[in-house]
Structure 1
């Protein structure tokens, strides 16, 4: 027999406090986790209100941390960052606020370095195919198309 653990609201609060303390979470992740734990909608609301009240759950903080982390570690551009935050049901207000975490100088320096580094790993000899590979790579990471096409033309004349 498949035995699913049941949680009281208090147990769910403690479990989710730990879940949120370990790493910043968004409302959607917390909601999904509670749903998977078998909590009913009313109980989910009680736990979420508790987490918000005690600052375990903070969408602004989540958005800012997420953007800084994905930009610094994965070198994602603004397009990808915005898309990923939208997927998590983050408000436009918090998305705009989070985008301010990246300075213009850092943004362009990171883009330059990423494009130049990636180019070294593309062994393609055909100029057009090489350019396409670089463009695809940068677009996938969410860098704005005008930056990407200009950079590709500059690096692979």
Structure 2
């Protein structure tokens, strides 16, 4: 006797036993119900096209219906790439304290164009950006104990670069 470890393995096993196609396990809703669910999904928080398309994979829909829902969301301004990008940049910088490089990389992964990213990067105030680098520099460097100053500087620079801040700006602000 063998045991099924996860719910997913169990579902695959049950489907194979019943000879039911995989799409039958997806939730079945009417077109209007799906459209309403997608409106609610976009109203809850700003979304990009990629996130909406990913969410729609949960439902059984023909490609034309998916396109119609996306066009409806755009037409009614529930889905707006620029608004999403600006909101994302503000949130990741002012709340998560990420640098421009990390924000840019994550937006690219979500399918946002380079042109739109560059246009929306003005959401980050330059003075706030420099102050954030200095604040994180001091906070991280003060945690490092038992190291020589040059080692602390190297580790802190690496840390800030992993947070998405630019090397040139880090080195000029830190005085190294």
TM-score computed with the length of structure 2 as normaliser: 0.79
1:29 alignment partner, one of 32, 37, 51: 51
* Higher alpha-carbon Rg: 2
State how 1:74-153 maps to structure 2 within 5 Å: 74-152=96-174
Q: Do the aligned residues in 2 keep the contact of 1:68 with 1:101 (CA within 8 Å)?
A: yes
- The alignment partner of 1:36 has SS state of coil
Q: Say if 2:32 is the partner of 1:10.
A: yes
Which of 1 and 2 has higher RCO (CA within 8 Å, sep 6+)? 1
Q: Cα 1:21–1:124, aligned 2, differ >3 Å: closer, same or farther? A: farther
CA distance in 2, matches of 1:10, 1:17: 10
CA distance in 2, matches of 1:132, 1:36: 46
Deviations 1:92-145 (A, max 9, x none): 232112201111111111111121112122234233432232122101111001
CA distance in 1, matches of 2:53, 2:145: 45
TM-score computed with the length of structure 1 as normaliser: 0.88
Give the C-alpha shift of residue 5 in structure 1: 1.1
Question: Once structures 1 and 2 are overlaid, which stretch shifts more, 75-84 or 32-41?
Answer: 32-41
**Unaligned 5+ runs, structure 2:** 1-13, 16-24
Q: Do the aligned residues in 2 keep the contact of 1:64 with 1:97 (CA within 8 Å)?
A: no
Q: Do the aligned residues in 1 keep the contact of 2:74 with 2:80 (CA within 8 Å)?
A: yes
Aligned residues: 154
Question: Once structures 1 and 2 are overlaid, which stretch shifts more, 26-35 or 130-139?
Answer: 130-139
Question: Once structures 1 and 2 are overlaid, which stretch shifts more, 98-107 or 56-65?
Answer: 98-107
RMSD: 1.8
**Unaligned 5+ runs, structure 1:** none
